[in-house]
Amino acid sequence: MASPEFALRPELAALLPYNSGLTLADVASRCGGKTIAKLASNENPYPLPEEALRAMQAAIRSTQVYPDPSARDLAVALSRLTGVPAARVIFGDGSEDLLNVLARAVLRPGDEIVTLYPSFPLHEDYARMMGARVVTIDLTADRRIDIDALLAAVARPVRLTILANPMSPAGLWLTPQELDRVLDAQHPESVLCLDEAYVEYALGEDYLAGTERLAGHDKPLLVLRTFSKAYGLAGLRIGYGLSNCDDLIRGMNLVRTPFNVNAVAQAAALAVLRHPEAMRDAVARTLAERSRVSDALRAQGLEVLPSKGNFLFVNVGAPAVEIADRLIDHGVIVKPWKQPGYESFIRVSIGLPAENDQFLSALETVLGD
């Protein structure tokens, strides 16, 4: 058939497919029988609580029935956890679904959006898909968040600002003082979205969750969270948004598909919230491993950015795509960064101790060759 180009919106021409990384099956065929350390998608490698497995088993007995379109029980549970009224909680098929819903709800062709760079690619892609222009705030030369540039950008009447805090892939974060300055500087006619996919890992006095400021904030603010990372439910696809703005939630609810979160995901999410010990234990182990791995990488002479996430952004001093490709021969999957200016960086997730060891020794071998 002839090219259906005429049917596609012109905005799609500028988009690339999402770089979702290699699957275990892709890699298994290349490294014959070796154990594979999948360290490319920031998943939690530790087991789920038994209660979550039981909740999922119970839920699969009723899959003939549509799920609750508003995930009412879960909204109430998250309201208890965060203090945000249940009516201002919205769910997505992963938080990336909510990024898409947000873009479709607010962006018009020619609008501007602001985001940090190196960026989470979907922050840019969904905006471009709507015909918006993306203004990126790159890191400073010494690889810190350029807070002055960010403050200047958010003070302008841009339609939308999306900040991953902690940032992905860089792992950097806004201090509480910096977050407050951004909230103060936000233009009253613009929406601010804080993507807190890694909030559960971001412990310590030097980090402030956006939920702490939602109630008192008088401009539209949306905090996005996910069950994919610390809660270990990436395969089920469920994330949520919390806002101080009824109109924004109403608009996003109009845009999303009504049954965007399946019943098994809802049941599992409720169970992991009720049994947070497994998540807390996974976070504690991951943070201990993160400092061990970053010390070891620095001892290899590599530049490693500070990180509040379950991953590290590492300058391997060579084309990252080639290094990542050679790591696969050692059974290690990492994510080579491809955005201009960061092509010598890999993002590596913190896995189980043995996986981290496998990565460290494979990287030493590959860089030594």
Ligand X SMILES: *Cc1c(COP(=O)(O)O)cnc(C)c1O
Q: Which residues bind ligand X (CB under 6 A)?
A: 42, 94-96, 120, 164, 168, 195, 197, 226, 228-229, 234, 239
Least distance (Å) between residue 197 CB and ligand X: 4
- Amino acid code (one letter) for 334: V
- In the complex with ligand X, the residue whose CB is nearer, 183 or 230, is 230
**Residue 24 to residue 5: CA distance in whole angstroms:** 34
- Amino acid code (one letter) for 134: V
**Residue 352 to residue 350: CA distance in whole angstroms:** 7
Least distance (Å) between residue 119 CB and ligand X: 9
**Count of CB atoms situated within 10 Å of the CB of 192:** 23
What's the token pair of residue 53?
A: 């497995």
Least distance (Å) between residue 98 CB and ligand X: 8
Residue nearest to ligand X (CB): 94
Q: Phi and psi of 21, rounded to 5°?
A: 85, 175
Least distance (Å) between residue 50 CB and ligand X: 23
Least distance (Å) between residue 239 CB and ligand X: 4
Angle (CA) 96 21 278, round 5°: 65
Least distance (Å) between residue 7 CB and ligand X: 28
- In the complex with ligand X, the residue whose CB is nearer, 96 or 355, is 96
**Residue 11 to residue 75: CA distance in whole angstroms:** 35
**Residue 113 to residue 123: CA distance in whole angstroms:** 9
- In the complex with ligand X, the residue whose CB is nearer, 56 or 167, is 167
Q: In 3D, which of 105, 101, 106, 80 has the Cα closest to residue 91?
A: 101
Q: Around 290, how many Cα atoms within 13 Å sit in the side-chain half-sphere?
A: 25
**Residue 40 to residue 23: CA distance in whole angstroms:** 10
**Residue 140 to residue 309: CA distance in whole angstroms:** 20
In the sheet that holds 239-243, the strands lie side by side as: 89-92, 239-243, 221-226, 191-195, 160-164, 112-117, 133-138
Least distance (Å) between residue 223 CB and ligand X: 12
CB 175 within 8 A of CB 204: no
Residue in the block written with tokens 């807190």: 196
Least distance (Å) between residue 31 CB and ligand X: 25
Least distance (Å) between residue 234 CB and ligand X: 6
CB 354 within 8 A of CB 332: no
